[in-house]
Structures are given as C-alpha cells and as structure tokens.
Amino acid sequence: MAIIDFVINSRVPMQALPPDWPGGFWWHWLFFTVVIIGFVLTMVMGFIYIERRGMGYMQSRLGPNRTGPFGLLQPVADALKVLLKENIVPTTADKLVHWLAPIVAFAPALMIFAVIPFQDKALLADLNIGILYIVAISSVSTVGVFMAGWGSSSKYSLLGAMRNVAAVVSYEIPLVLAVVGVVMIAGSMSLNQIVLAQNIPFILLQPLGCLLFFVAGCAEINRSPFDLMEADSEIVAGFHTEYSGMKFAMFYLVEYAEALAISAIITTLFLGGWRGPLLPPILWFVLKVVIVFFVMVWTRTTLPRVRIDQLMALAWKFLLPLALINLVITAIQVLIWPTALPWILVPVNFAIMVVLILIWSKFFKLGLGRIEV
C-alpha cells in the first residue's frame, strides 16, 4: 500500500517535496524503510519473471508459463518452494559463520537504496557523500560471500569465493573511476544533486563512462558473462553450493537485489533518474531501471562465459586504461566549461568512445589470441 500512496503523492511531476516529508524524522525513516523493502522485494520478483521469460524468448523457448496468467506467479511459487525446503548445514561447517553469511551479504544490498532518490528529495537519507557511501557499502557484501565460502568448508565454495574476490577487487577500480567522471560534471556526490544536474542525461555526456560502469557493474555482481564464480560446469554453484532452503533464498535474493541496485545506480547516475516528461517520476524511475535490467538480460543471453584470465585481462588491460583516459578527458571538458557542458560535446564524446574502443580492441585479443596469464 505504501507504494500506491507514494505514486498518488507524486502525481505532479518534478514537484519538490518539503525537506522533512512525510512528517518527522522517525516517520520519514519508517516510511522509507518500508518503501525500500517493498520496492526491492517487488522489483526482484519482477526481475526474476523478466529474466526467465526474456531469456526464454531470446533462446527460442517459452520459459515458465504455467503458474498464473503468462506465468506471472512463477516467482511466488519459486519463493514458496524454496521457503519450504529443508535447511541443510554441512557437519564440518563453521556453523555461526555459515548462518551469518546470507545476512552479511543481504544487508549492504538493501542499504544501497537508502541514498537512491525515487523522486526529488524522496529518499531515505540525502547524504552529501551519496555515491561514495554506495561504493563503500557495496564492498561489504564481499565479506558475506567470503563467509559463505569459508563457513561451508567445501572446496567448491572456497574456490567460488576466491574467484569472486579476484573479480570484485579488479573491477572495483574501473567502476569507481567511471563514477568520478559523473561526480566531476555534476559537482556533487549526493545522488539527488546528481539527478538535478542532469539537464542532459549523463549517458550522452559520458557514454564511455556509462559503458565502463555497466561492464564493471555486471562483473561486480557476478552476472553472466562474468559468472564464472558460480560456473555450474566447473564449481557446482560457487560460494552458495552448500546452502539450501531459506538461506539459499537469501543469496538468490541478494543476486537480484544487487542487479536491481546496479540498474538503479546506472539509472540515477547516467539516465537522469526520476526525471522525464508526462509520467510521474516514480514511474520514470522504475521504467528506466527495468530497461537497464533488460540490457543485462540481453548481454547474459548473448555472450558466452569468459575464462578467468580473460576476466582479469579485461579489467586491467581494457577497462582500467579506458577509465583513466575517460577521467582525463572529462576533467579537461569540465575545466573548459565549468558551469554546464554544451550539447556539442555529445557527438564529440560518442566519437571519442568509438575511437578508443576500436584502438584498444586492436591492442589485445580475448580468446583468439595468445592466452595472457
């Protein structure tokens, strides 16, 4: 119901809300906590449906279509099934760590949404270090993955966790460097301010930054084609091999909540967040988030899984140099036009992106060329 109230309240687009809306501090906190939990759970259900049906269509099959109209109730059935399953803990497991791991992984994924604006000033906490907070908090969920890998005392879990940390440590650098470009143009780290600064959506001014963020973000959350931390053919299911029942459901939820978080961050940083004509802001926000997630599903069905050496090479030889070059170019542009970047830069930046990617793709090859270790 909270979400419905929210949509009704936000009927007039672009209207600034009073700073302490809706009421006092604790009411604000309670309201947005409920909204965020409801939003995440609802959107995750939607995402699971989109992913399974969308992948089905892309792979010339139907996907789940039996439960409810068009298979819409499939996520509900899945959730019920997984909740009723037996919870199995390996006898050699470190029980406490094994039990805590899903919680440690899930809490940061939920905490990210505290600073994401659903509408002008409609967010749990408008921190002036917003994007830095997201980068910091999201690094905590690695610890949860570690705890799962270690606490299960299974070699597949441990291998999955090790692969995960190798990927996360490498891809965090281009991810953050891509964000810095946006922060320089917007002149603030508060996500609300970043959205307000986007008279031109930053994907047009920062096409390379957006691409880098998307690739690095997909790798951070282990989505295919970077899902070799949970490659079923090699290490069963990675760090959550030994989990079942509710705790497995938590990891499943984390996976999609992180995908939702990355989609929401891309929407906020690059696509103008809740801004858009005619429709209410919350609808624009959800629409853009779903579009970004659809692109993730699209890349998942299109690209084959990478090897571990390719994963590392892509991060250090491709994304990192391009992110640095993007940073320098953005800094020069911000120095020349300190107040607002002109429209003329849009084609210029797209041209720079295409030229850079073409040059770099000549420098090193993935797959066909020599194997770099």
Residues near another protein, by CB under 8 A:
94, 96-97, 127-129, 132-133, 135-137, 139-140, 142-143, 146-147, 149-150, 158, 161-162, 165, 168-169, 172, 189
Which is closer to another protein, CB of 229 or CB of 292? 229
Least separation in angstroms between CB 332 and another protein = 16
Which is closer to another protein, CB of 110 or CB of 289? 110
Least separation in angstroms between CB 161 and another protein = 7
Least separation in angstroms between CB 146 and another protein = 5
DSSP for 139-177?
Answer: TTHHHHHHHHHHHTT-HHHHHHHHHHHHHHHHHHHHHHH
Least separation in angstroms between CB 19 and another protein = 14
CB under 8 Å to 373, separation ≥6 — which residues? 309
Least separation in angstroms between CB 94 and another protein = 7
Least separation in angstroms between CB 29 and another protein = 12
The residue to which tokens 């090193």 are assigned: 364
Which is closer to another protein, CB of 26 or CB of 363? 26
Which is closer to another protein, CB of 42 or CB of 128? 128
Least separation in angstroms between CB 56 and another protein = 37
CA dihedral (174, 179, 182, 184) positive or negative = negative
Which is closer to another protein, CB of 294 or CB of 316? 316
Which stretches of the chain are DSSP H helices?
2-9, 25-58, 74-84, 95-111, 130-138, 141-151, 155-186, 191-196, 202-205, 207-220, 232-235, 245-270, 281-302, 308-313, 320-336, 345-363
CB under 8 Å to 11, separation ≥6 — which residues? 280
The residue to which tokens 């990192």 are assigned: 320
Q: 116 φ, ψ to 5°?
A: -90, 120
Which is closer to another protein, CB of 126 or CB of 234? 126
Which is closer to another protein, CB of 183 or CB of 286? 183
Q: What is the CA radius of gyration of the chain?
A: 21
Contact status, residue 261 vs residue 195, Cβ threshold 8 Å:
no
Least separation in angstroms between CB 128 and another protein = 4
Determine the Cα–Cα distance for residues 63 and 54; give it in Å rounded to an integer.
8
Two tokens, residue 256: 């999609």
Which is closer to another protein, CB of 34 or CB of 169? 169
Specify the 3-state DSSP secondary structure of 323. helix
Determine the Cα–Cα distance for residues 170 and 142; give it in Å rounded to an integer.
13
